[in-house]
A and B are shown apart, each in its own frame.
Chain A
């Protein structure tokens, strides 16, 4: 049923995307409410102040740094890549030149990574660390980049360097994360648990949130749902503004098959597009065929993205095609293309699921090789790999 709806929707899509312009009758008609209106007052103030400062001096590194970081913060909370584009735009005067100040180069690397320009981000970080080997933030950023690209050994090297530089905690969490991705997940979980028992005085809120997220992530990969739940609930109380936190919670609800809660949770955050796919998945489980509104919204997004030649949404699109369009072959193509760009656990799972659904387990070989190389641990992933015929 959903498939037929989708095919019908496809017929209407070209009509949907091209619309007829109008002339409003009234000057007072509101055409659009800007995103800053939905921000809490402190953030809105911070944004407008940063913008004003920057407009007065667009080439001042300090003003640029401040505004770019405000934009990147907004990108984190809203999962809206527009903010990343704005951040990169403020850095444009320094593009193609080597005179960019280190702080700005770091911000540029962060922004590029957020925009999935991983190659450029790595180049910036390599250059930065070559010139300033003690730049702790840059180390951490490069470690996280390595993890996104599925290279935990590289990440571990940067985490170890971080241990020597910074306060203990960030280095330890970084190291635990790298270990968890390279065959020592249980030990890493134990270490993270020990860290959570440290007196709270030593932890800034951001640090605490990072710790909880990491522990929840590792716990879920080891199948320890209760542990993950505790961390995620705590996170929701303190850090619900971050899109990644919300996504993690929705994923936990999906993993524990609490479909209604997924829908209810997604309904509380109507502007969070990242929850849309998860909501549609839950709706489909509750009653196949009821997810039409969500499916249509997602189909529109992906059609627009395809028109743009976008690669940002490959993971979501692959999942969408696999779970809603019942087209495992196309989903496999998308999942493999996504694998070339990013290699986190969800990306690996997708390739295996698509390969199995398309009855082409051989197509999942790159992922299986990667699993062997890194000894990556994840219960679902290992189950899928066994089904694909290879013990990992």
Chain B
């Protein structure tokens, strides 16, 4: 036994050992796959798997040219799906879910090239509180492989890491207080209204004449700022009440109107108020116009919430929060714009330049939007 293990390999491997010990420059990332589970609405998952490790595990490089092409990946799709399904299991609240792959894509993440498996996840539990994910995917090819699992819900994205010695991870939906859930929807509302150029433009157009009064057939800057503010408040309130009404009706499904027509009507509403600024025919009751069109706008806002497919209990919280968010967003716009307009109202050219010309331009824009939405065209550069 004495000199048995001394062979020519000794010299070769002696250095290997010591130098290997000195390899500390592990700046490269070890192999990682990324599993994202979207828990809300029909649950889906996206599983991003590094291509080079997949090649080691199931063999992707058919022509052995050390490059993986899209065609090679597509050809390997059945093998890939079988490989993953045999090593991945998900359960919701203790009951097993079925993973049904429906697509395979490519994802060039910044840390490498990945195959992106898209799958539906059907679980028997509804409104799952806890997911348990077990995965041994790619650990048979790379012992140091880890999978980062993220659970995406409306109220948060808890995540965990699966590794060889810890192949199971448990993810809970955030234990969310109603307050926190409301806040989330408030944020959604604000974000949504600030993205809705047509809504914002409508409110803006309503504000334009608010700092003037009609006096002997001419526009004159209003003298009493307080009464101006009160008028604006009434106008906006009327608009708000109206769109809250239809938002509630539309979200709960009690009122259903075709989306395309609603969008076109919203654009048309912008045209009408803009034109009304130029030729004031409908100024009788300041609240009527905003109210009527508010009804229309509310239907448009409802599409966001209905997409989420929330169950009844969350719906009221969502509605309340979302609506509040929309109001806050609107109020922000008013607080920004109104002081500016009040400042500008004494400018000699305000009635002509800002009010008339501005409103005409807005009317044109609104008309173009209306045409786009009715006839499915693309007239304006920025899709509205």
Chains A and B bind each other: yes
Q: Which A residues are CB-close (under 8 A) to B34?
A: 18
Least distance between A365 CB and chain B CB atoms (Å):
24
- Shortest distance from the beta carbon of A351 to any chain B beta carbon, whole Å: 15
B27 touches A301 (CB 8 A): yes
A78 to B143, CA, bound (A): 18
Interface residue ranges of A127-180 to B (CB < 8 Å): 132, 134-137, 140-141, 144-145, 147-148, 165-167, 170, 174, 177
**Choice from B20, B69, B145 contacting A31 with Cβ under 8 Å:** B69
Inter-subunit contact B11/A207 (CB<8 Å): yes
Contact assessment for A32 and B141 in the assembled complex, using a CB-CB cutoff below 8 Å:
no
Q: Closest CB of chain A to B107's CB: distance in Å?
A: 4
Residues of B within 8 A of A72 (CB): 16, 20
CB distance from B23 to the nearest CB of A (A): 5
Given the known interface contacts A28-B70, A31-B51, A33-B66, the answer about A79 and B106 at a Cβ–Cβ threshold of 8 Å is no
Residue pair B51, A32 in contact (C-beta under 8 Å): yes
Residues of the A chain whose Cβ atoms lie less than 8 Å from the Cβ of B143: 85-86, 88-89, 91-92, 115
Asked whether A277 is an interface residue with its Cβ less than 8 Å from the other chain, the reply is yes
Q: A136-B5, A137-B14, A140-B18 are in contact. Are A82 and B111 (CB under 8 A)?
A: no
A88-B144 contact in complex given A21-B118, A29-B69, C-beta closer than 8 Å: yes
Complex contact B19–A244 (CB within 8 A) = yes
Residues of B within 8 A of A21 (CB): 46, 48, 105-107, 114, 116, 118
Chain B residues near A315 (CB-CB < 8 A): 24
B198 to chain A, nearest CB (A): 27
Interface residues on chain A, number (Cβ under 8 Å): 95
Contacts of A301 in B (CB 8 A): 27, 29, 111
B5 touches which one: A23, A132, A209, A307 (CB < 8 A)? A132
A309, CB-defined interface residue at 8 Å: yes
CB neighbours (8 Å) of A145 from chain B are 21
Residue of A nearest to B51 (CB): A32
Q: Are A89 and B107 touching (Cβ within 8 A)?
A: no
B336 adjacent to chain A (CB < 8 Å): no
A285 and B46 alpha carbons, distance in the complex (Å)? 43
Is residue B67 within 8 Å, beta carbon to beta carbon, of the partner chain? yes
B372 at the interface (CB under 8 A from A): no
A60 at the interface (CB under 8 A from B): no
Say yes or no: A210 contacts B15, CB within 8 Å.
yes
Complexed CA–CA distance, A24 and B25 (Å): 35
Asked if A363 CB lies within 8 Å of chain B CBs, one says: no
**Which residues from A are CB-within-8-Å of B277?**
none
Pick from A80, A134, A206: contact of B16, CB under 8 Å: A206
Chain B contact residue count (CB 8 A cutoff): 74
Main secondary structure of the interface of B (DSSP, over half): mixed
Task: List CB contacts (< 8 Å) of B184-210 with chain A.
Answer: none
* Distance between Cα atoms of A387 and B31 in the complex (Å): 41
Contacts of B109 on A, CB cut-off 8 Å? 17, 19
**CA separation between A307 and B3, bound complex, in Å?**
48
Q: What are the residues of chain A within 8 A of B161 when measuring CB–CB?
A: 307-309
Instruction: State whether B19 touches A210 (Cβ < 8 A).
Output: yes
Do B67 and A89 have beta carbons less than 8 Å apart? no
| B74 CB-CB contact with A under 8 Å | yes
Q: Is B61 an interface residue (CB 8 A)?
A: yes
Whether, in the assembled complex, B284 has its beta carbon less than 8 Å from a beta carbon of chain A, the answer is no
Interface of chain B residues 74 through 131 with chain A (CB within 8 A):
74, 105-114, 116, 118
Alpha-carbon distance between A75 and B69 when the two chains are bound, in angstroms: 25
Closest to A346 in B: B24
A234 interface residue (CB < 8 Å to B): no
- Asked if A32 meets B112 with Cβ closer than 8 Å, knowing A22-B107, A308-B161, the reply is yes
**CA–CA, A137 and B1, complex, Å:** 14
CB 8 Å contact bits of B128-141 with A (1 = contact, 0 = none): 00000000000111
Contact across chains for A28 and B69 when beta carbons are under 8 A apart: yes
How many Å from the CB of A81 to the closest CB on chain B?
Answer: 5
Q: Are B140 and A92 in contact (CB under 8 A)?
A: yes
Q: Which residue of B lies closest to A115 (CB)?
A: B144
A242 to chain B, nearest CB (A): 6
User: A79-B23, A81-B144, A89-B142 are known contacts. Are A165 and B16 too (CB-CB below 8 A)?
Assistant: no
Q: Which 5 A-B pairs have the closest CB atoms?
A: A274-B25, A27-B71, A273-B27, A206-B15, A88-B143
- CB within 8 Å of B: which residues of A? 16-24, 26-37, 44, 48, 69, 72-73, 75-76, 78-82, 84-86, 88-89, 91-92, 110, 113-116, 132, 134-137, 140-141, 144-145, 147-148, 165-167, 170, 174, 177, 204, 206-207, 209-210, 213-214, 242-244, 247, 272-277, 298, 300-301, 304-305, 307-310, 312-313, 315-316, 342, 344, 346
Beyond contacts A27-B70, A29-B70, A116-B26: 17 other A-B pairs, Cβ-Cβ < 8 A, are A21-B118, A27-B74, A31-B108, A34-B67, A80-B28, A82-B28, A86-B56, A88-B142, A88-B143, A92-B140, A136-B10, A141-B21, A167-B6, A206-B14, A277-B27, A307-B32, A307-B159
Q: B-side interface residues toward A, CB under 8 Å?
A: 1-6, 9-32, 34, 36, 46, 48, 51-53, 55-56, 61, 64-71, 73-74, 105-114, 116, 118, 139-146, 148, 159, 161, 163
Can you give 20 contacting A-B residue pairs, CB < 8 Å? A18-B34, A27-B69, A31-B51, A31-B108, A35-B52, A37-B65, A69-B16, A73-B16, A76-B19, A89-B139, A135-B5, A144-B22, A170-B11, A209-B15, A210-B19, A273-B25, A276-B27, A304-B111, A309-B146, A315-B24
